[in-house]
Amino acid sequence: MLKYSQLVMEHFKNPRNLGSIQQPSAKATEGSIACGDMMTVYLDIQEGTIQDIRFETYGCAANIATASMMTEAVKGLSLEEAKKVNWKEIVERLGGLPEIKYHCSNLAVDTLLKAIQVYEKPNQAQTSEQDEPVSDTHS
């Protein structure tokens, strides 16, 4: 079995900011059932700041823990600050992840960025090519 840090297990057992927001400023779903991980992020944005963030996710323990940690990391940040959060930071804050699980943290950040994009450019978000964060950690 993969070895997870205590903090990963803690976030897996007690995910922070779990659930949905009734009337979100924006929401986005990324990933795919076929791949085995899929995440929905809901944002409540007030005056350019992430007032509240919620998530629901289908995936492994690392997927759930990285989603939880991502929401903790960006709650209360301005959108500009939140856009700078990257997967490495999430992994570090969790006390590390097995390398094969790095892509889970990509999905958490991808979904956040997509939700912000939906908020900022609602017309483009459906059609534009998303800038995929670099996935060079995993092939």
Partner 1 sequence: MPIFFDNCRTTPVLPEVAEYMMPFFTERFARPDGLYATAQEIYDSLTEARAFFSSSISAQPDEIIFTSGATEANNLAVLGAARANRTNGNHIIVSALEHGSVIEAGKQLKREGFEVTTLDVDSEGIIDLNQLEDRITDQTILVSIISIGHFIGSMMPLKEIGAIVKSKNLKTLFHTDAAEMYIKFPLDVQQLGLDLVSSSAHKYHGPKGVGFFYRRKGVKIQPLMFGAPSFDRLRPGGENVSGIMGMRKAAEIGFKQQESALKHVTDLQEYLIQRIETEIPYTILNGPRGQRRSPYNVNISFEFIEGEAISVALSMHGVEVATGSACASESLQPNYAILAIGGDHERAHGSIRFTFSRGNTKDEVDEAVDRLAEVVVFLRKVSPLKPGIDKSQFLKEDPHHHA
Neighbouring C-alpha atoms within 13 Å toward the C-beta of 32: 2
Beta-bridge partners for 29: 40
CB–CB of 96/89 below 8 Å? Answer: no
Q: Is 106 in the site for partner 1 (CB under 8 A)?
A: yes
Given the rule CB under 8 A, which of 30-38, 45-53, 89-97, 113-121 is the region that contacts partner 1?
A: 30-38
Catalytic residue, chosen from 2, 9, 35, 100, is: 35
Q: What residue ranges in 5-127 does DSSP mark as E strands?
A: 26-32, 37-46, 49-58
Nearest alpha-carbon partner for 88 in 97, 80, 76, 79: 97
List 5, 29, 78, 86, residue binding partner 1 (CB under 8 A):
29
Q: Is 60 a catalytic residue?
A: no
Q: Is 85 in the site for partner 1 (CB under 8 A)?
A: no
Q: Is 81 in the site for partner 1 (CB under 8 A)?
A: no
Residue 9: helix, strand or coil by DSSP? helix
Query: Which residues are marked as active site?
Result: 35, 104
- Return residues touching partner 1 (CB under 8 A): 1-2, 4, 9, 12-13, 15, 18, 29-40, 56-64, 100, 103, 106-107, 110, 132-136, 138-139
